[in-house]
A and B are shown apart, each in its own frame.
Chain A
Amino acid sequence: MNEMAPIQAPTAGCATPASATGREILKERGQREVFCGLTGIIWLHRKIQDAFFLIVGSRTCAHLMQSAAGVMIFAEPRFGTAIMEEKDLAGLTDANEELDRVVARLLERRPDIKLLFLVGSCPSEVIKLDLSRAAERLSAQYSPDVRILNYSGSGIETTFTEGEDACLASLVPTLPEAAPERQSLLVVGTLADVVEDQFRRLFTAMGLDDVQFLPARNANTMPAIGPGTRVLLAQPFLTETMRALQRRGAEHLPAPFPLGEEGTTAWLAAAATHFGIDQSAFDAAIEAPRNRARKALGRYREQLAGKSLFLFPDSQLEIPLARFLQREIGMQPLEVGTPFLNKAFMAPELEQLTETAVVSEGQDVERQLDRCRDARPDITVCGLGLANPLEVEGLTTKWSIELVFTPIQGYDQAGDLAELFARPLVRRTRLEV
């Protein structure tokens, strides 16, 4: 294992270095074995505690939600599906009346709801049911008690985590205006509550007090945005949200994503550098957790170094994950698939990723499976539909969805993140059957 070079916090303005643009990207089109954007509701509805997500869709949407949730969460979820029926397709006026009726009943039953998202689906988009007008109409009716927004989580427009992007982008125009002179840091992208609290403590420790998070845990504590807002993306899939924030005057702080010790350090450093935090204050704040992360990773480096890795496209977290596993654990990424490549966001990541790794964007699942079988990686990261069949073929797999449902960001989760990859291999070694 080579001595790791610390990542320099990239400065704003040099978003696409030559090394990133120079890399060949394998672009694929064909069958895509990915979730649609509705799936993001599974974590978003828990994150924003007074929000409800009403999917306007079909029985397929409802079935997806209960199947993708894996186990059915029987604490009553704050999401539901208004299933369109034949008569709703016949006339759009009727569909709007039906929607009003459904929303009225829902809000009557759930007076605790302060923020209602009408979530578009493939069928509602195809019949051109205008949910933005519906949201406007209903907002006028229920304001100020309930704010009603809309976004599309349809599979024809969004891939898996892009649903969160669409949701947050719909929130941005409603966020309060921050005073122009207010210099504040905004961390964007759903993080586990525990991780959010850790980051807040770290920023406070280095003397950065004005830190806000989007999404907030409640509708009335959403962050204020202004020209002094600087954005750190906690998740890589927030293209539209970042654009919407820029329209409000906020600026992006390019950084690697906070996965692993290096990634977390560089991510924190991007904010610290911008806000002029003193190097010694920064070092003092991160020293203890950074050492814990290094210690925790050491154990897994022994188990995983030299193992090859193949990632199917899923959440757009693939490139940062591969960078982490390669640089901090010593694994060898063979192919890194991503459903969509945002070159600007990924530039600091791609700079660090080995040139021998193939980066592929989009998917033709059958062809990709052929490549994976040829490559015989030690670990394949893939979706739930592919994992068991590949195990049967003798490949060791890691379900990618777990990487979205587990706290993996930050120093104190770096070891947990590595462990997720070690466990399938350990299990293979243990089993004698």
Chain B
Amino acid sequence: MSFQIKENTDAYDVIIVGSGAGGGMASKILAEAGLSVAVVEAGGDFDPAKEEDRTQLRPPWESPRRGAGTKIRPFGDFDQAIGGWEIDGEPYTRKDGTQFDWFRSRMVGGRTNHWGRISLRFGPNDFKRASLDGLGDDWPIGYEDIKPYYDKVDKLIGIFGSKEGIYNEPDGFFLPPPKPRLHELFIKKGADKVGIPMIPSRLSILTRPINAERGVCFFCAQCNRACQAYADFSSGTCLLHPAMKKGKVDLFTYAMVRKVTTDDAGKATGVSFVSKVDLKEYKLKSRVVVLGASACESARIMMNSKSKSHPNGIGADSGVLGRYLHDSTGADRMGIMPELFDRDRYNEDGVGGLHMYTPWWKDNKQLDFARGYHIEYWGGMGQPAYGAGGGMDALRSYLKDEFGAPSPNGGYGEGLKKDIRRIYGASLGMSGRGESIPQYSNYCEIDPNVVDKYGIPVLRFHYKWTEQEIKQAKHMQDTFEEILTQSGAILLGTKPGPETMYGLAAPGRIIHEVGTTRMGKDPKSSVVNPNCQVHACNNLFVVDAGPFVSQADKNPTWTILALSWRTSEYIVEQLKQKNM
């Protein structure tokens, strides 16, 4: 078969690369404005309401591995997110002893199919960190610029929570939160004793309907499997598919973008992509290109978009592209609650995630690290699947018989079976998710020696945590022990110490990587302007988490959605004014 480039002679108003939170929101806002839109997605399409795509409510015996994770579904065989930490034919590399793991989902909706639906607004302080502690940089925009978009996102997509009036944890338009689970009440008892707040979680799950198109939560705890009632947020069900129904939106799936094409004046003219289906090269044309491929993937596309007018790639001349890559920090601890042995049975599935959480509650001026973290709690009578009844070689001795004698660890037989039933639902734990300090020296770049199976040069990562993150993780571990102990739990495992950086997860592992195409007013120190418009190419925009100047101790999705909405409105306005 001869090689040929297939060129589409029709031009779109806008091409959007990626269909996750940023790309999905852009597709909806731009299509509603009457623009013709092409969405180019590296994976396939699916609809959780169709029986053939459904993984929700499937019991583990419908999987020969009983729900265990696989390479392409590391979070479980029924997890909806397809991709994982390592994708065949799509490598990335690391340099200088870097430990950085990159989680990708190749599918409509991207990683919104995977995430925990924790939807926290950044607060006023989160945009002005450098002014408060002298580290990193302020955002060029503030909370007041983005608040109207957070409000609109709340109402469009839906989120439950409680109005608290905490300055840096802004309230929104909340649906009713669910009552706590039992282990959350136990943990709250402990947290109360040491003055650590616990409030209803803020998750983008519909406890009540917000429109006629989407159903309400029926409490199966399986948001990660994609909801057939569309009762949780994922970009496909809430943004892209509705946009395709109402507007002029063409979806190109299995389409791996190679580069943004440009003209002699340096303006974007469209994208060039390779089809994973027929391995042919294609080109699409548009007046505007929007990148929402994820912070690292969008940076990669820009670096690879070399041309006569952009010999180093688009936006690469300042040397900032790919820099300031940062992920949330993460550390965890687990315990077992003797009071919960032999507990009464009832359906405790609840929503897909925690019902209560702890927002950052301390003043960093009193601490030896600069930024905060929030705490997520887990436990309860979850669905027994792969892993159920495990660890009895170490856990069984926490059980005592009627005379107070401990059961022996390990063992076999009816006694083992009964003890597994007694201990079910008694373990619990918590995870801290914190803010790191963005560093110029943490970055991704093009590996000069490696390409993927499509011949596209791949990313190479350089990343080191600093003392700031390590001290924060130490504080997390101290806090976890305090809460668990005060709750009446027995700590499991040994406390992670300096030899493991206090259990600090490797960068990338929390899947909040941001900052590669940072926002700023000065083209010398930033890649995009405060409207997420690339300084070096005014009809190219970035709507994923790349423009984040700093990541806050929150999850990035709600801010990606709000920023993408704001950027999309700006694009519509600029097109109207014929500025592009």
Q: Do A and B come from one complex?
A: no
